[in-house]
Amino acid sequence: MTVSDVALQSGPFALAEAELYRVSVPMHEPFRISSGGVSDKEAILLRIGDGHDSGWGESSAMGGTFYSSETPESCYEELLNRVLPCVLDRQFSSMFVFEQELGRLSQNRFVHAAVETAAWDLIAHKQRIGLRQLFQIPERPVPSGLAIGLYPSIQEMESALCRYQPNQYCRVKLKIQPGFDVQVVEAGKQIVGELPLFVDANAAYDISALPTFIALDDQSLLMFEQPFAKDDLEGLAELQRSLRTPVCLDESIETAADAQRFIAAKACSIVNIKLQRVGGYLPALRIMEVCSGLGIPLWMGTMPELGIGSAQALMLAAHPDFVFPTDVEPSERWFVDDLVTPEIRLSNGCIQSPKGPGTGYAVDQRKVDKYSVAHSPLTA
C-alpha cells in the first residue's frame, strides 16, 4: 500500500473537541545522552474527538534543547494557541488535506506528531479497527532492544547493564561520547556476550574521530547510530567509506528528501525512524517508501515516549521493512508509571500489542489526571 492509498483510505473526518495535557512522569533514573539528560519524562498529550469517538496523540520533545530546539513548553503553547483552534469545528476530506493544513499552521514536527497520530487514532476508532489493519501491516510481535544511556563511569554503566537484564532483549544499544567509547564497548561485550550490540553517539563526533571508529570497527557491532552532526553529509559519507560497520542515521533523516540525499551520497546503510522526529505516520511512510526502493533496512526508534507514543510507534515497527529490533521497551523499563492499559510488556524478547481499535492500548484517564501539570480543554 502506498502513502497515497493510506491517506485516501482515511476517508472524511471532523474535529469538534480537543483536550491538551502537559504531564510529568518520574523516571526510575536519569536518561543521559551525549548532549544532555532528563530525570522526569515530560510530554504533551492530546485527545481529539468528533463528538462520538476520540483519538490520542503524544508530543514528546525532550525538556531543554539538548535533542532539538522544540521543548514541551513550546509544543504546548503552539498546540494550544495556534494549531488546535484552527482545526476544530472543521471537516477534512482525507488525511492528505489535514496534513497540508498542519503544514500551513506549523513547522514543528513534534506538534505535527501529536495531532497527526491523534487523528489517525480517531479514524481507526471510528472504523472500529486497529491501526495496523488500517495501514495493512501484518500483525506480529515486535522484537525489542535494550538501550543504555551514559553514566559517569564504566562501573556504573556495567551495573546498569546487568540490572536491566540484557538477555531478556533481542539486542543492546550503548550510548557513547568522546572519551567514553571504546572502553564502553569492550565492557559491554564482556556482559552481553554474543547478543547483538551497537552504539549511538547522538551526533557527538566529527571526522577527526575516524581513528576511534576504525578501532570500534573491529568489534563486530551491528551499526554506528548517528556518529556525526545531522547535516554532515560529507563527513558521514567518508566515515561509511572507511568502515565495514554500517552507519545508521537518526537525527539526519527528518524527511523523505533527507533519506534520498544521504542514501544517494552513501552516507548511511541503515535508517532509524522516530514518529516524533519526522512528524507522524505519513512522513514516516514516505521515508519507508524511499528506503524500501533503495534497499536500505529500517528500525523504529523512540525518544523514549510514554505509552501513547510508544504504542503508536509499535504499529509501524511490525512492518516487514523494519528488520532490526525497536528501541521501544516495556513501560517499567523507564517510568515509575505509565498512562496506558495494559502497560507495554516484554515477552520472549518481543512486545505483542493487544487487539482492539487504534493501537489496542487504552489511555488511563485517572493516571493522565494524576500526572498532569497543565490541562486545557478546547471546543469548537
Residues annotated as catalytic are 175, 274
Strands (E), 213-315: 224-225, 247-249, 270-273, 298-300
State how far the Cα of 242 lies from the Cα of 55, in Å rounded to an integer.
47
CA-CA distance, 38 to 375, in Å (whole number)? Answer: 22
Strands 270-273 and 298-300, by their bridges, are parallel
42 in Cβ contact with 306 (< 8 Å): no
Q: What is the residue type of 255?
A: T
CA-based torsion, 308, 313, 319, 322: positive or negative: negative
Sign of CA dihedral 67, 73, 76, 81: negative
The three cell numbers of residue 337 are: 508509571
Residue 33: which residues within 8 A CB-CB, separation 6 or more? 66, 67, 149, 150, 175, 200, 202
Length of the chain: 380
Q: In this structure, how many other beta carbons lie within 10 angstroms of the beta carbon of residue 261?
A: 15
Per DSSP bridges, beta strands 340-341 and 362-363 are: antiparallel
- Could you give phi then psi for residue 284, rounded to 5 degrees? -65, -40
CB 227 within 8 A of CB 241: no
The residue among 95, 170, 132 whose CA lies nearest residue 353 is 132
3 state SS of 293: helix
What does the block give as the cell for 9?
483510505
